[in-house]
Amino acid sequence: MKILYLPHFEFADDTEFCRILRSLPGTADVKSGGIFPAFRYRWQLYIDPWRRLLAYGWRAMRSAPADTQVVVTWTHLVLLPFLLGRLVGFRPKLVLVGFIYTDRASSLVRSLRWAYFRLLLSQVDLVITHASVEAASYGGVFGQPDGKFVFVPLSAHVGELPEPGAGEAIVSAGRSNRDYDTLLEAAEQLNVPIRIICDSFQSRRAVPPNVEVLRNCHQADYLRVLADARAVVIPLKDEELSSGQMVLLHSMALGKPVLVTHTKGIADYVESERTGLTLQRGSASSIVTQVQRLLNDDALTARLGQAARERYRAHHTLKAGLSAIGRLVNERFSSHG
């Protein structure tokens, strides 16, 4: 069976991501996109990638061998040219990885997005999600058959990890679905430095003196801040929305104990009191209580961090995640080879 993988990450040809994809059984080709340059203005982030992704998908479709049997990609935009290809008889099975559907405030925008994804997903043969609750619910949301949506745990590649430090700071990071208002409320009751890594940080509360907001802190700098944390706190707003997993996995890879809001998407990644500590949504007192537990208990901190690292190495490395996707694709479509 000939499988075409289409990752669209910057410098993807030189990454471990593509090397692992090329090692998977059935792989016929890997075409990387490299479509995420630095943008000077924020509006470019919303407009330019659409054009680049569509052009990347078009080039990949035009150059794909006629006997390609499966196409795997990580964004719906890259699949659109392959839907056009079906009009001229090019009909490989289509696989979309990492699909997340979020509502919008506007009822018109919400309706249009739902209609678009319902039509698109009706033409996709397999959709991989990174939360089991999504795999269980999306079929009903979009009127799709059982088995089209499948859960595969998210993987994270962190490269060469910095040496974990023994700092006393509590670190938080990320922007999607974050509840930094509640974290700042908790910070007022904690006598410990807190660092928040977020370019688009906003809060209705004043930032206490013990809180430092780090903007433009990415890649190696971001990992160094995590590595020097006593613990990592991930406060989330919406319990239905899948978010926070990437910062969670980076922290686990570094052997850091993680305190994260209990949501349906997080339940697949954290076993409370074993691989992390869970927080009550919107509760500053929950954050204060759990942080103080770690500050006062070195043994608990070490045990949670070690268990988190073991969990990451067993289930969430890049090789583990991509291999799981490769096995699923081969098992699902091998009969069509």
Nearest to 71 by CA among 89, 49, 91: 91
Cα–Cα distance between 289 and 285 in angstroms, integer? 6
**Nearest 10 degrees: CA dihedral of 336, 120, 150, 99?**
130
Instruction: Note the pLDDT of residue 47.
Output: 67
The β-bridge relationship of strands 258-261 and 3-6 is unpaired
- Which residues are CB-contacts of 198 (< 8 A; sequence separation ≥ 6)? 172, 173, 174, 175, 178, 180, 213, 214, 215
Contact 58, 292 (CB under 8 A): no
Instruction: Note the pLDDT of residue 212.
Output: 97
Strand boundaries in the chain, DSSP class E:
3-6, 27-30, 70-73, 93-97, 126-129, 149-151, 170-173, 194-197, 211-214, 231-234, 258-261, 277-279
- Phi and psi at 286, nearest 5°, equal -65, -40
Cα–Cα distance between 233 and 278 in angstroms, integer? 10
Tell me the average confidence (pLDDT) per consecutive run of 10 residues in the chain, 337 residues long. Answer: 85 77 92 63 63 90 94 95 92 96 88 96 97 94 96 87 80 95 97 95 94 92 94 93 92 96 91 95 97 95 96 94 96 77
Instruction: Note the pLDDT of residue 53.
Output: 87
Per-residue pLDDT of 247-287, as tens digits, reads 999 999 999 999 999 998 898 999 999 999 999 999 999 99
Cα–Cα distance between 146 and 152 in angstroms, integer? 16
SS3 32: coil
- Which residues are CB-contacts of 193 (< 8 A; sequence separation ≥ 6)? 168, 169, 170, 210, 211, 212
Contact 27, 331 (CB under 8 A): no
Cα–Cα distance between 95 and 9 in angstroms, integer? 17
What are the counts of helices (DSSP H) followed by strands (DSSP E) for the chain?
Answer: 11, 12
Task: Look up residue 66 and give its amino acid.
Answer: A
Nearest to 279 by CA among 320, 310, 237: 237
Contact 3, 9 (CB under 8 A): no
State both tokens at 22: 């090329």
Instruction: Note the pLDDT of residue 45.
Output: 54
Nearest to 83 by CA among 116, 107, 61: 61
Beta bridge partners of 93: 70
Note the helical H segments in 25-172: 42-63, 76-85, 107-123, 132-142
Instruction: Note the pLDDT of residue 264.
Output: 86
Contact 228, 167 (CB under 8 A): yes
CATH number of the 3-155+317-336 domain: 3.40.50.2000
- Which residues are CB-contacts of 47 (< 8 A; sequence separation ≥ 6)? none
Per-residue pLDDT of 188-231, as tens digits, reads 999 999 999 999 899 999 999 999 999 989 888 999 999 999 99
Beta bridge partners of 105: none
- The reply to whether 170-315 shares the fold of 3-155+317-336 is yes
- Does the domain made of 170-315 have the CATH classification 3.40.50.2000? yes
**Nearest 10 degrees: CA dihedral of 106, 108, 110, 111?**
160
Instruction: Note the pLDDT of residue 16.
Output: 84
Nearest 5°: the CA angle 311, 227, 156 is 45
Q: Give the N- to C-terminal CA distance of the chain in Å, as an integer.
A: 5
Instruction: Note the pLDDT of residue 35.
Output: 59
Q: Where are the domains of the chain?
A: 3-155+317-336, 170-315
Instruction: Note the pLDDT of residue 265.
Output: 87
